[in-house]
Amino acid sequence: MKVLVAGATGAIGRPLTRALIESGHEVLGLARSDAAAQTVRELGATPVPGDAMDREGLLRAVEGLKADAVVSQLTALAKPKRTLDERDPSTALRKTGTANLLAAAEILGATRFLTQSMALGYGYRDHGDRVLTEDDPFGEHAGNLTDHVLDGLNSAEDQARGVGGIALRYGLFYGPGTWFDPAASKRSIPIPADGGGVVPWIHTEDAAAGTAAALEHGAPGAYNLVDGVPATWGAIGDAMAAAGGRSPMRLPGRLLRLAVPYLGALMIDTNLRVSHDKATRELGWRPAHPNPAADA
């Protein structure tokens, strides 16, 4: 297939672009700067100058081009957010960016559309020991600042569902280009002193492999892409440090919640376990990278 990837230079976009090319697909990488375009070329793909948030510019950029599929990996997660409101960049990308990419897909003649979602959409709360599946409620509001995240995820998934597309509900990312990258030179995000809650995780390369499998074999709907080993933030942070990265800064829960309210909801309030059985059963995908931390 010929595939337009939005976010091709990101933590998932890079290994995804490489994986697609290795599988024989042709990749067009959306690039909003000259530097991004050069990175797309270095990955072996063809850059398409454009910004997913600039609808008219994006549609001009794809005019005359053809593609079989569009894959959105649009997020703005370069650094942790202190708080959230309706202006959150990732929420805007999931709402407006997805709509613009769907318009581009129509011009391209693409018949497959995949969008990035998150397993956290099952809710920032304590789900106990129960392992959730794609059949469980998703995107239900909690009445706090996390509702802005859920609004964005719901919008992206609803828009994809409207065209028979696929939503990929990733676990928290670790590996190159993420907050938990043992090769990173800077200190990772702060975590609760007691390690925080248990959440699902996924290595970036496994996320890319699962995305490629969904592109090739997935049915309309949603797939959980997680590594199957839920772990606390502290366990993952310590494992990254043991692999050569910096030890994460640990803060008392009350101080973390006060300093960065969103991280309080994410790291303290949330306990979440999610199954990847559907992806394994329908896509033939299994995570290849063992989670560096045990369930804690």
**Secondary element (H or E) of residue 287:** none
Q: Is the pLDDT of residue 278 over 60?
A: yes
- Number of neighbours of residue 227 by Cβ within 10 angstroms: 24
**Backbone phi and psi for residue 217, each to the nearest 5 degrees, phi listed first:** -125, -5
Identify the band that residue 78 occupies on the pLDDT scale cut at 50, 70 and 90. low
CA atoms within 13 A on the CB side of 93: 17
Q: What's the gap between Cα 55 and its chain centre?
A: 22
Quote the CA–CA distance of 5 and 13 in Å, as a whole number.
7
Give the per-residue pLDDT at 85: 67
Q: What is the pTM of this model?
A: 0.94
d(CA 236, CA 251): 16
Domain positions in the chain are 2-283
Predicted confidence band of residue 88 (pLDDT cuts 50, 70, 90): confident
- Residues 220-237 have pLDDT tens digits of 999 999 999 999 999 998
How many CB atoms sit inside 10 A of residue 235's CB? 22
Share of the chain above pLDDT 90, in %: 77
Dist CA 227 CA 10 (whole Å): 20
Residue (of 116, 136, 130, 227) closest to 175 by Cα position: 227
pLDDT at residue 295 in the model: 45
Would you state the CATH architecture of domain 2-283? 3-Layer(aba) Sandwich (3.40)
pLDDT of 83 strictly over 70: no
Say whether pLDDT at 79 is over 80.
no
- What pLDDT is attached to residue 186? 60
What digits encode the pLDDT tens for the residues 160-191?
Answer: 999 999 999 999 999 888 888 877 656 567 89
| 11-33 core/surface letters (b: 16 or more CB in 10 A; e: else) | bbbbbbbbbbeeeebebbbbbbe
Q: What integer pLDDT is reported at residue 81 of this predicted model? A: 59
First CA to last CA distance, the chain: 41
Q: How far is CA 98 from the centre of its chain?
A: 14
Determine contact, residues 29/9, Cβ cutoff 8 Å.
yes
Task: List, for residues 32-76, the tens digit of each pLDDT value.
Answer: 999 999 999 999 999 999 999 999 999 999 999 999 999 999 887
Q: What is the DSSP string of 19-44?
A: HHHHTT-EEEEEESSHHHHHHHHHTT
pLDDT at 254 over 90: yes
- In this predicted structure, what is the pLDDT of residue 179? 80
